[in-house]
Amino acid sequence: MRVLVTGGAGYIGSVVTEELVRDGHEVVVYDSLYKGHRGAVVAGAEFVEADLMDGERLRRAFREQRTEAVIHMAADSLVGESVTNPSKYYRNNVIAGLALLDAMHDCEVRRLVFSSTAATYGEPEKQPIEESDPTNPTNTYGQTKLAFEHALPWYERAHGIRHASLRYFNAAGATRHCGEMHDPETHLIPIILQAAAGKRDAVEIYGEDYPTRDGTCVRDYIHVVDLARAHILALSILDTHSAVYNLGCGGDGYTVKEVIDATRAVTGREIKVKVGARRPGDPAFLVASSARIKHDLNWSPQFQDLNLIIESAWHWMQSHPDGYAG
């Protein structure tokens, strides 16, 4: 299939592109490099450096490639920033998303896989979370992802654009070539690995007074390759219908302290911790039921073991000490 990947120079986007290219799809990476990295653009994919709001460039890319499907991952995704700067998140996650849908409609591109998030659920009423559970985001990031999800059935009704919204839980891990590098880094596993590598003094645990087994937040970590495979499977439903799928490994999840202990075991390094205040907007417990995508698409995570996820991220960090700059 001829696929255009927005945000394809980002962390998850680069791995999705890698998997698409490996499967023989023709891929255009469409990325402004405002947060993505030139070095993360996968060999074998074409690259267009442009913004989603550049409607003319986007339409040209669709027409030149004869695009058949879009995987939309370009977004802002920092929870804390989204709360202090809602305008940026509505602009980049909603308005730019609508510009993409309008360009797809104009160019008769009618398949969309959308990168959504567990943050659409907010503070869930029960665990594990199912797709039919209430969505009550507690931050602007989750709200803007949900706003875009809500636009999709209307675009399907009016213009026949079918969509699969994938609600990611905690993406982690790396492939040989593609890994996680944000500036500033806010995600738990890369932060712990930076401490293991001596690049920061200690890991701050954001609260240890949650009602969980050790007082720290429980999350559902999923390897980025397992996420990427789900995008490719999701493309296959779009000839017939649309869907929303959770993507996580399920089970009991892992507490922050368990992730730190696993990283100590994997790296063999000392990792200092200090306990700080809770981070506003952090739910205590976020674990997915991925039963729907397992049933519908026969998807199942290959990296269920947290140690393997951490190990892959550790290897990537060691082979890319300066990230994509090196």
Q: Quick one: which segment of 13-21, 61-69, 91-99, 183-191 binds ligand UDP (CB under 6 A)?
A: 183-191
Name the 3-class secondary structure at 166: strand
Could you give phi then psi for residue 40, rounded to 5 degrees? Answer: -90, -5
Q: Quick one: which segment of 201-209, 224-232, 239-247, 287-295 binds ligand UDP (CB under 6 A)?
A: 201-209
Tell me the residue type at 227: L
Q: What share of the chain is helix, strand, coil (3-state, %, to 5)?
A: 40, 20, 40
Least Å distance, CB 146 to ligand UDP, is 15
Q: Where are the beta strands (DSSP E) in the chain?
A: 2-6, 26-31, 46-49, 69-72, 111-117, 162-168, 170-172, 203-206, 218-219, 221-223, 243-247, 254-255, 273-276, 285-286
Whichever of 112 and 310 has its CB closer to ligand UDP, that residue is: 310
The answer to whether residue 73 forms part of the interface with ligand UDP (CB under 6 A) is no
Whichever of 155 and 221 has its CB closer to ligand UDP, that residue is: 221
Whichever of 141 and 245 has its CB closer to ligand UDP, that residue is: 141
The site string for ligand UDP over 97-136 (x = CB under 6 A, - otherwise) reads: ----------------------------------------
The answer to whether residue 6 forms part of the interface with ligand UDP (CB under 6 A) is no
The answer to whether residue 185 forms part of the interface with ligand UDP (CB under 6 A) is no
The answer to whether residue 205 forms part of the interface with ligand UDP (CB under 6 A) is yes
- Candidate list 28, 191, 195, 313; residue touching ligand UDP; CB under 6 A: 191
The answer to whether residue 187 forms part of the interface with ligand UDP (CB under 6 A) is yes
Whichever of 30 and 221 has its CB closer to ligand UDP, that residue is: 221
Q: Please state whether beta strands 243-247 and 254-255 pair in parallel, antiparallel, or not at all (unpaired).
A: unpaired
The answer to whether residue 170 forms part of the interface with ligand UDP (CB under 6 A) is yes
Least Å distance, CB 76 to ligand UDP, is 13
Instruction: Tell me, yes or no, if 221 is annotated catalytic.
Output: no
> Crossing angle for the helix pair 306-319 and 256-267, nearest 10 degrees?
60
The site string for ligand UDP over 230-259 (x = CB under 6 A, - otherwise) reads: --------------------------x---
Closest residue by Cα to residue 245 from 125, 52, 150, 113: 113
Whichever of 3 and 79 has its CB closer to ligand UDP, that residue is: 79
Whichever of 4 and 271 has its CB closer to ligand UDP, that residue is: 271
Is 265 in contact with 307 (CB distance < 8 Å)? yes
How many residues are recorded in the chain?
Answer: 326
Return the exposure string of 128-152: e unless at least 16 CB atoms fall within 10 Å of the residue's CB, then b. Answer: bbebebebebbbbbbbbbbbbbeeb
Contacts for 50-55 with beta carbons within 8 Å, 24 or more apart?
51/96, 52/6, 52/96, 52/97, 52/99, 52/100, 53/95, 53/96, 53/99, 55/99, 55/102, 55/103
Is the four-CA dihedral 249, 251, 255, 257 of positive or negative sign?
negative
Nearest residue to ligand UDP, by Cβ distance, number only: 217
The answer to whether residue 324 forms part of the interface with ligand UDP (CB under 6 A) is no
Enter the tokens of residue 178.
């593609």
Least Å distance, CB 277 to ligand UDP, is 10
Total binding residues for ligand UDP by CB under 6 A?
Answer: 15
Binding site for ligand UDP (CB under 6 A): 79, 170, 186-188, 191, 203-206, 217, 219, 256, 279, 282
Active site residues: 141
